[in-house]
Amino acid sequence: MLFFLISCLSVFLLSKSLSLKPLAPWASEMRLLSLWFWKELFSFHVSWLRKSKLSDGLFEIPARMSLKKSTSLQVENVEETEKMCVLDLPELALECILGRLPPSGLRNMAGVCISLRDRCRSDHLWERHMKEKWGRVIGRAAHREWQWHIASRKDLGVLNRTKQKGFVRSLSSFWPLPWIRSKLDNSNKPRSSLPVDSVMSWYLALESGKFWFPAQVYNREHGHVGFMLSCYDAELSYDSRTDTFQARYPPHGRRTVVIEDGVQWDRLRAPPVDTRPHDLHVSDCLHDLHPGDHIEIQWRRNKEFPYGWWYGVVGHLESCDGNENHCHCYYSDIVILEFNQYAPGSRWRQAAISRKDHREEGNEADGFYGGIRKIYCEEEISTWKRLWPTEVLE
């Protein structure tokens, strides 16, 4: 500060001394040059003092103004840098958010970054979606089919990698060795593709319709009169455009594979028992059958046909009047099965089976009756009643 005052005082005295005496013309020019020099020197001192710590008192107002500007800029920068990312959320909050996303939302979030990709592909997130959409039509047979599909995909992948390595090694005889090594290293690097054995992969395979899975169809072939109140095994493929299925029934007799389009969700179910279409189901409920019980029984036209499951109820013997107080049908070795969708007098109306040693029974004219399962679930019973034909069958 002292240096600044001395400089200002020297400029003032010099200007006064020059103004007291007349000067020659050349001296007037020197005076102007001297004034310009001291003006530039003064400007230099001002700029130097602004940068030094001594300018705190003299330039208090500009300094405060610049401080306010810098503070506001810093606040804006802090606001920009402190924008919260979804990954900054607590673990439980992030899991709750991802758990509420639909499958399409999880797929979109998986493409954001590596961390979200791994989270959004977690099996526990997709298991809920699998159960909600596919749980009613996916059974143990479909699980086995998917496991076989996974094994075949893995075996095919190993075979392709082996062939690729063998081809690359064959090039080593006439191609540069470093290039060959780089190709081998790249083939061994793990990829970020979706694991084939993940629940998400299974869900997407079902959704795309590329994976055919086994299930059962009520009233096959668009409710053909010959299949009313029955349920047959088929392979199904989902069509996401129409939200329906394509059913492929196995060939039987002289008939080739039968294809049915537009099968609705309410006509499908997962197989209730793990019995293949051509195998006889082992009946474990024969000693628990009472008149009025709801049952399903295997039936096929002849030995070449697969079994279908047909709905019926346990009836009374001819010797019983149907009075519950006097009924002894439960103690008989013969069980009467009734199929009330058929008209009285129809050969399909009733069937009698042995309670003790029931096996496949029947003939080529009336067909063959196989294993029996008792229906305990009210939801299954209501499904059969909903499918009841509008007219009595002959």
Instruction: Calculate the CA dihedral of residues 216, 218, 224, 228 and round it to 10 degrees.
Output: 130
Structural domain including 259 reads: 135-151+198-271
Whether residue 303 is predicted with pLDDT greater than 60 in this model: the reply is: yes
Residue 11, pLDDT > 50, answer no
7 in a structural domain: no
Rounded CA separation 280/283 (Å): 9
308 and 330 co-located in one domain: yes
What residues form DSSP beta bridges with 361? 369
Is there a domain that residue 175 lies in?
A: no
Same domain for 243 and 304? no
Say what the pLDDT of residue 33 is: 43
pLDDT band at 370 (very low <50, low <70, confident <90, very high): very high
Global confidence as pTM? 0.70
User: Do 320 and 211 reside in the same domain of the chain?
Assistant: no
Which of 82, 107, 134 represents a domain boundary (last residue)? 134
Question: Residue 54: what pLDDT?
Answer: 39
Query: What would the pLDDT profile of 50-73 be if each residue is shown by its tens digit?
Result: 555 434 443 343 444 444 444 454
What is the pLDDT of the chain when averaged over all its residues? 79
Total structural domains within the chain: 3
Say how far apart CA 33 and CA 217 lie, in whole Å. Answer: 108
Contact 352, 375 (CB under 8 A): no
In a domain, 361, yes or no: yes
216 and 139: one domain? yes
Residue 245, in any domain of the structure: yes
* pLDDT, tens only, 200-256: 999 999 999 999 999 999 999 988 888 999 999 999 999 999 999 999 998 876 778
Residue appearing with tokens 């008149």: 291
Q: Chain-centre distance of CA 181, in angstroms?
A: 38
Query: Tens digits of per-residue pLDDT, 64-104?
Result: 444 444 445 454 554 555 567 778 888 898 889 999 999 99
Closest CA to 207 of 179, 164, 181, 245: 245
Same domain? 313 vs 227: no
The helix or strand, by DSSP H or E, that contains position 296, with its residue range, turns out to be strand 294-300
Q: What percent of the chain has pLDDT over 70?
A: 69
In this structure, is residue 310 part of a structural domain? yes
**Which DSSP state fits 393?**
B
What is the end-to-end Cα distance of the chain in Å, rounded? 120
Residue spans of alpha helices (H) in the chain: 2-20, 25-51, 55-58, 60-81, 91-100, 103-110, 114-120, 123-134, 140-170, 177-188, 199-208, 220-223, 378-386
Residues 328 and 381 in one domain: yes
pLDDT tens, residue by residue, 271-296: 999 999 999 999 999 999 999 999 99
- Which one of 241, 271, 301 terminates a domain? 271
